[in-house]
Structure 1
Amino acid sequence: MRVAVIGVGDMGAEMIPHLVETDFEIVAYDKLPERLQAGEGCRGQGGRFGG
């Protein structure tokens, strides 16, 4: 299943790694690139994680 997160924020930064662990494919956007670091260590690159 694919999930888009627009405006990652504090809550999204906590949720993304957990969603990837349960085999969701995440496409994330935030105007602050450091917020996308929530996906670091997850499969994928840039703003795409999982899958």
Structure 2
Amino acid sequence: MDQAIQLRDEIQRLQELTREHQRKLLALQKNCAHQFQETALSRTCVKCLLTESLYY
């Protein structure tokens, strides 16, 4: 039982950390002066890794 509670708490902590990192990445990508490298289907910024699909 103790191990299950510890695992649940660790999952919760890691999920919050993931959300925090996602917010930071989004802010970084919004403020980036993008330099895209393109393929036939997508383009990816080499600075912030923002990826956009070119397939419509």
State the TM-score, normalizing by the size of structure 1: 0.29
Larger fraction in helix: 2
Larger fraction in strand: 1
State the TM-score, normalizing by the size of structure 2: 0.27
RCO (CA 8 Å, sep 6+): is it higher in 1 or 2? Answer: 1
